[in-house]
Each structure stands twice: as structure tokens, then as C-alpha cells.
Amino acid sequence: MKRSRLFPGAVAGLLAVVALSGCDVPDQEERRARMHLPPDDFVADASIGGTLFQGNCATCHGADARGTDKGPPLIDPVYRPGHHADMVFHLAVKDGAKQHHWHFGDMPPVPGLTPEQVGHVIAWVRQEQRRAGIK
């Protein structure tokens, strides 16, 4: 009977998995913080978000979130939750966003906003989208 041999790479991979299994894995809150997401128990407030939007986003996206010559409208079906999930907004604030639907250029990161503050802004944008019939 012939024995099969494991590839040396497979053995090394198996050893790496065993060795790393003892490493600390970040807990859920740490992972959320790394992704710039608020804690699981966070409750967004659209009224706070409206104020934050005016101070941090309106210059490009317009006071009513309907866009300017510097940035796209967020009250537009392209930004509906089914096409741009809340996570996309969090990542755009944290890391910026490449130009894709519009021709305004790349969006730079927005420094200084906490994940909770971004959550409030998203709540306000979603509220305004619903008022405009965007679901």
C-alpha cells in the first residue's frame, strides 16, 4: 500500500493555523471600532445628525443633502439603503471614497467625526431619504 505525502506548504499552513489558534482574537467591539462603527447598543438620533451634517457635510453635499457643484446629492435613489448600506457611509467618512456614480472627484476622509457621530448623520440622511420617497 502506497502512502500519500502532504505538500510541505500544507504542513506549514497547518502548523501556522495551530500556532495562531492561541493568539488573541479581537472582540466584537474592537472589530467595530477598527471599522469605524459605533457600539452594538448605539441608538442614532436624526436631530443630532442634522446638526452634524450641516457642520461637516453640507459644504459639498448641500444643506438639504441634495448636492452642490462640489459633491453629489445624498437624497437620490443611488444612495438608498439597498444600494449604499450604512457601512458605506461609515467607510467613506473614515477612508474617503473613490468617484464612481458622479463626476465630482474622490471624496476625502472627514477627520474628527466619531463612529457615533457618523451614525447620527446617517440617521438624518435616511430620514430625509424617506421623506423624499426613497426607500
Question: Is residue 42 within 8 Å of residue 35, measured between CB atoms?
Answer: no
What pLDDT, in 10s, does the model give residues 61-115? Answer: 999 999 999 999 999 999 999 999 999 999 999 999 999 989 999 999 999 999 9
Helices (DSSP H) in the chain: which residue ranges? 8-20, 28-34, 46-56, 58-61, 86-95, 115-131
Write down all domains in the chain, each with its CATH number in brackets.
42-131 (1.10.760.10)
- pLDDT for 43 equals 97
